[in-house]
Structure 1
Amino acid sequence: MASQSTNNIHISAHPCLRAKLSQLRSASTNAPDTKRLVHDISTIIACEALGDTLSTVETGTDESPLGYQYTTESISPSNISIVPILRSGLSMVDAVQTLLPTPVAVHHLGMYRDKATLSAVEYYNNLPQHSTTDAAGQMDIAIIVDPIVATGSTLCAAIETLKDWGAPRIFCFVVLATEGGLKRAAEVWPEGVDIWVGGVDPETDEKGMIKPGLGDIGDRLFMTVGK
């Protein structure tokens, strides 16, 4: 079984992902290996999610190197955008882009968690201006990528931002979440959001960090631990 699904929450049961997540948890895993493991886990999550939700359509014909005609295919829907949550969400973008057959737009959201309230604060948003007649500003699916969902505040805020912007459907790819944070995010817009997650831990500590968790994944990725 590739994944366990409950309504709009999909928890991977892929054995390779689980083994890589165990490696990622270790305090001895250095920055290059942290980056590699996040990429690998993101690839597995994206494979499961996109394989479960996308389909193919015939787009015409082409010729093979031996001169035989064959029918070409592409994915449907094809109008997809990736929305990384700065800064650690950047580590998941390449994995998703590599899977998709054509380049897609990347729209960044900058958010940080207030240390006192643990609520999300948005400081950057480059979602495009759009209208019903502007095809360049439309998307069929917005894929939010963020490695960690602890309290769920940041992901909830990102979902609300995209919902208000007009995204008709949202996928969220997450490496590790807490039970409470995942449930909270899934309830923001149940009919329009699906969350695909690599693993789930029970709770956070008094500082809002997942336990046992992955530590501050952004600091680990960008070698700013202890700054």
Structure 2
Amino acid sequence: MIIHNLETENSVLNQFISEIRDSTIQKDSMRFRKNIERIGEVLGYELSKSLKYTSKTVHTPLGTKEVSVPEQDLVLCSILRAGLPLHQGLINYFDTAENAFISAYRDHTEDSDDFEVVVNYLASPSLENKTLILADPMLATGKTLENTIKAMENHGKPKQIHIVSVIGSKEGVEYVKDVFPESTQLWIAAIDPELSNRGYIIPGLGDSGDLSFGIKI
């Protein structure tokens, strides 16, 4: 797996990351969602540099111009519900992409630290020979991404896979490296050192879905 960790370079992305981590600022759910969306735009821009491009002739009122544009073979898949603001940021830039959505959640049996990731909904176009972008804001254990790609197997084999995450753990990144093809590229804004006993990233930011849309029961 090729890992693009954007926190290794200073950019405006650092401001957005600092705000979504800040326990005071993140109380504003609209601002939290907007910052995730803006992070998605930054990660999408960086990802776009790795895509294949073709030449296109554009006709202006005064002449013509050859422009290199990305090939239109993208499928953008987000993991509900936390992935929706990140999805919006990506689709702001990849507005012609096809879209897929999958529901995946942690099932903590009897409220224990142990859990399994349950997938019970998937809507996706064919992935055959297309470029798949998986958007999951928090790459904690990596098991959600593993179950997601397994659930999509009968939709065809993509020619390339990109994973887009906001914050990940070192353990989770290592896990997906073993699960996904070597050619997979990970685009991530920050990688944190630890996981809690319940599989949450430390220091992380908390539950991204709850911060975006409210606490669930």
TM-score, normalised relative to structure 2: 0.87
Q: Which of 71, 84, 99 is the matching residue for 2:66?
A: 71
3-state SS of 2:198 partner: coil
Is the CA contact (8 Å cut-off) linking 2:5 and 2:189 kept in structure 1?
Answer: yes
Unaligned runs of 5+ in 1: 1-6, 131-136
> What pairs up with 1:159-178 in 2 under 5 angstroms?
159-163=149-153, 165=155, 166-178=157-169
Is the CA contact (8 Å cut-off) linking 1:159 and 1:188 kept in structure 2?
Answer: no
Q: Which of 86, 107, 113 is the matching residue for 1:114?
A: 107
The equivalent residue for 1:10 is 4
The equivalent residue for 1:124 is 121
CA-atom RMSD in angstroms: 1.9
The equivalent residue for 1:142 is 132
Corresponding position: 1:105 with 2:103: no
Is the CA contact (8 Å cut-off) linking 1:168 and 1:192 kept in structure 2?
Answer: no
> What pairs up with 1:205-224 in 2 under 5 angstroms?
205-224=196-215
> What pairs up with 1:26-41 in 2 under 5 angstroms?
26-28=22-24, 29=26, 30-41=28-39
Distance 1:94 1:61, change over 3 A: same
Segments ≥4 residues shifted beyond 4 Å: none
Q: CA deviation at 1:164?
A: 5.2
3-state SS of 2:151 partner: helix
Distance 1:61 1:20, change over 3 A: closer
Distance 1:139 1:98, change over 3 A: farther
Aligned length: 208
Distance 1:43 1:14, change over 3 A: farther
Paired-residue identity, %: 23
3-state SS of 1:151 partner: coil
Bigger mean CA offset, 118-127 vs 81-90: 118-127
Corresponding position: 1:204 with 2:199: no
Corresponding position: 1:19 with 2:15: yes
Q: CA deviation at 1:139?
A: 5.0
3-state SS of 1:71 partner: strand
Q: CA deviation at 1:95?
A: 1.3
Q: Which of 125, 146, 169 is the matching residue for 1:156?
A: 146
3-state SS of 2:179 partner: coil
CA distance in 1, matches of 2:183, 2:147: 15
CA distance in 2, matches of 1:219, 1:95: 18
Is the CA contact (8 Å cut-off) linking 2:141 and 2:199 kept in structure 1?
Answer: yes
Is the CA contact (8 Å cut-off) linking 1:62 and 1:72 kept in structure 2?
Answer: no
3-state SS of 1:190 partner: coil
3-state SS of 2:186 partner: strand
AA of the residue aligned to 2:33:
K
Bigger mean CA offset, 19-28 vs 189-198: 189-198
AA of the residue aligned to 1:168:
K
CA distance in 1, matches of 2:122, 2:173: 23
The equivalent residue for 1:85 is 79
CA distance in 1, matches of 2:134, 2:10: 21
